[in-house]
A = this chain, B = another copy of it.
Amino acid sequence: MKGSQLRPREDLDLPVRFARSAAATEGSGMRTDDVSGWIAERATAAEFSVERIPFAELDGWRFEKDTGNLVHRSGRFFTVEGLRVRRDAAAVPEWHQPIIRQHEVGILGILAKEFDGVLHFLMQAKMEPGNPRPIQLSPTVQATRSNYTRAHRGARVKYLEYFREPERHGRVLADVLQSEHGSWFLRKRNRNMIVEVFGDVPLLGDFRWLTLGQIGELLHRDNLVNMDARTVLACAPVGRGTALAAHSDADLLSWFTAERSGHEVSAEPVPLSAVPGWVRRESAIEHEDGRYFRVVAVAVRAGSREVTCWTQPLFEPCGEGVIAMFARRIGGVPHVLVHARVEGGFVDGVELGPTVQYMPANYAHLAAGDRPLFVDLALSPDPERVLYQAMLSEEGGRFRNTESRYTVIEVDESQVPDRPPSGYRWVTPGQLGSLVRHPHYVNVQARTLLACFNTRAVRW
């Protein structure tokens, strides 16, 4: 490092370069309007099929004798176990549920490269068995450690080397561990990476270079950009945004710390067979009232994946989700309303979610007063004030048919004041962007909507 031993702590050009890419709704590669057709064509070429099967037909998976946990014979991939969650001073102080445990940290990585002075991102047309639209636009690499150490003896993960040894090929623009669905995963974290490459990169068949603006356009199509792409794009270093906000960063962090300190959450694994209220049937583990979600099994045949045939369990929710982020200008500066949420599987109890994160079917048996705050506004917004709307699905490698209506809805002071109810806070997208550089602040649903801001899918 002689002579040039020091470098700037922050690359001040990066936000400008990301802004330029977000402003580019066409790029040097495929036209935006052609992406859907390309994805459809890959789907036809791949000739895959996904079928529900009874648990007895799972290959390599079994229910452990003592615990009833659903495990793979390799001891890898993931397990389905039971979870007991206890909360101090909460409306529901204790509950049990099945949960996915996956110790290993996967890589969700997007390669970035400049073409004609504009950053492009290498996106993959990738099949996931649980997706309602099975091939979606995905990160360059989306692999668990079991995948990339080839526990399933499949093909090599393409472009993996750029993320295993980024300094050999370019430089890291973002790299942070983030949680995923705290209701379905116990302490799951994935590595969200963006790596800029300076040299040539071979372009393989299932991959295309797109600008941030193109991806922003595509985020308006239903079930096209997958969850893994969205969470990585949420972590893009787009800059701090405005220097002014309703709350200083110190006050925001203090509020978050108070929320996290105020919820004593204890989440402990228990044997799956010891989870009260849940029943194991031939083809599903489900709640006795048919609510929440079920654990199912599928058989997959596909030409485009690392192995051509496999079986696996998936979690399937019992209904569509409603995910809404409220937005308001405060003193002229755009803010969004985040909610400090407890989910049993979070690494540290509380993370910031969207304003509303809600599955109507789970509340159908309850009085209206027991529903989360702001649900009515989220369910029937004034169409003219909907800044963003699309049906999007969650990770199709673990979840089946998890469609949610994601929206960003503009509200006014009469609907949500500057000082919202306890547990809610107005923050700027720039403040969320500062938090998302660090683990376990922003949950995966809020990250999807942050990606919509970063890519300018939300124009405001």
A residues near B (Cβ < 8 Å) are 1, 5-11, 103-105, 166, 171-177, 189, 191, 193, 237, 240, 242-251, 253-254, 257-258, 260-261, 264, 266, 268-269, 330-331, 333, 347-348, 418-419, 430-431, 437-440
Contacts and interface: CB of A to CB of B under 8 A. Distances in A.
A438 B176 CA distance: 13
Contact of A250 (B11, B248, B348): B11
A333 B7 CA distance: 11
A7 B244 contact: yes
Given A174-B250, A257-B177, A260-B177, A8 B347 contact: no
Given A248-B11, A348-B347, A172 B254 contact: yes
A6 B10 CA distance: 26
| Number of identical protomers | 2
Given A7-B248, A243-B8, A253 B176 contact: yes
A172 B333 contact: no
A103 B6 contact: no
A251 B195 CA distance: 11
Contacts of A5: 246, 330-331, 418
Contact of A253 (B431, B437, B440): B437
A18 B10 CA distance: 23
| Residue from the set A240, A253, A254, A330 with the largest chain B CB neighbour count within 10 Å | A254
**Which secondary structure dominates chain A's binding surface?**
mixed
Contacts of A11: 248, 250
A114 to B, nearest CB: 17
Contacts of A249: 9-10
15 contacts: A5-B246, A5-B330, A5-B418, A8-B243, A8-B244, A9-B243, A10-B248, A11-B248, A103-B264, A105-B261, A171-B250, A175-B250, A175-B254, A175-B258, A268-B269
Contact of A9 (B1, B7, B10, B245): B245
Given A9-B431, A10-B243, A173-B250, 17 more contacts: A5-B418, A6-B245, A6-B330, A6-B333, A7-B247, A9-B240, A103-B266, A104-B264, A166-B254, A171-B250, A171-B251, A172-B254, A174-B250, A176-B253, A177-B257, A253-B438, A438-B438
A358 B249 CA distance: 36
Nearest to A333: B6
B177 A246 contact: no
A165 to B, nearest CB: 10
A256 to B, nearest CB: 9
Given A177-B260, A348-B439, A6 B244 contact: yes
A237 B237 CA distance: 23
Nearest to A249: B9
B177 A261 contact: yes
Contact of A1 (B243, B246, B266, B348): B246
A243 to B, nearest CB: 6
Contacts of A176: 253, 257
Contacts of A260: 105, 177
B245 A7 contact: yes
A240 to B, nearest CB: 7
Contacts of A331: 1, 5-6
A252 to B, nearest CB: 8
A419 B167 CA distance: 14
Given A175-B250, A177-B257, A439-B348, A9 B103 contact: no
8 residue pairs, one from A and one from B, having the closest CB atoms: A175-B254, A5-B331, A6-B244, A105-B261, A6-B331, A172-B254, A1-B418, A175-B257
A245 B8 CA distance: 6
B257 A191 contact: yes
Nearest to A167: B251
Contact of A191 (B193, B250, B261, B438): B261
Contact of A6 (B246, B258, B439): B246
A440 B176 CA distance: 14
A75 to B, nearest CB: 11
